[in-house]
Structure 1
Amino acid sequence: MDWVILISAGVLEAVWATALGASNGLRRLRPSIVFLAAMIVSVWGLAVAMQTIPTGTAYAVWTATGASLTVAWAMLRGTEPVTVLRMLLLLGIVGCVVGLKVVS
């Protein structure tokens, strides 16, 4: 169950990162509220997961999940370019996260 919580927290990291970008420096109310709420729940989920998952593994999975989903979402929305190299690098991040899960 802690792995589900950890991955969910990583997804929420992508939500808060995207909302932070949309908040215009925390000047827009709705994205700022989404940012704060998602950040609190995301960090809470990381803390819960770290009770049974080693700290280094949990943090790496959390940040990699959030980072890769944030970039993927930006590419889907057209705000970041989609290239073969960028896709391969994102797959590399995901592969490393899966590898951490396998060996932990």
Structure 2
Amino acid sequence: MAWFALVVAGLLEVVWASALKHTDGFTRLWPSVLAIATATLSFVLLAWAMKSLPVGTSYAIWVGIGAVGVVLAGVVTMQEGISAARLFFLALIVSGIIGLRLVED
């Protein structure tokens, strides 16, 4: 269950980090509410997952899911560019996430 909570926390990180773009410095109400609410839930789930998972592994996987997810969200919803180099480095992040999961104690 901790792994599920960690993955959901990472996906919520994608939501709140993407929503930050639309807050205009927290001057727009609903994007700001979305960013704060999902950030809070993401942190709560991360903290809960860390009760039974190693802190380093948990944090790295949470950040990795968020980083890859935000880049992909930017490409899909905000027309940010994608290149072979960006894909390569995203693949390295995903490889690191998988590797950490495989060697997790």
Same fold (TM over 0.5): yes
TM-score tier by shorter-chain length is: over 0.9
Q: Distance in 1 between matches of 2:96 and 2:19?
A: 26
Pairing 1:90–2:90 present: yes
Report the equivalent of 1:37: 37
Calculate the aligned-residue CA RMSD, in Å: 0.8
Q: CA deviation at 1:79?
A: 3.2
* Matched-pair identity in %: 38
> Matches of residues 16-95 of structure 1 in structure 2 within 5 Å?
16-95=16-95
State how many pairs are aligned: 104
Q: Distance in 1 between matches of 2:73 and 2:31?
A: 16
Q: Distance in 1 between matches of 2:78 and 2:36?
A: 25
Q: Distance in 2 between matches of 1:90 and 1:78?
A: 18
Report the equivalent of 2:15: 15
Q: Distance in 2 between matches of 1:98 and 1:48?
A: 21
TM-score (norm 2): 0.95
TM-score (norm 1): 0.96
Unaligned residue ranges in structure 2 (runs of 5+)? none
**Ranges of 4+ aligned residues in structure 1 off by more than 2 Å:** none
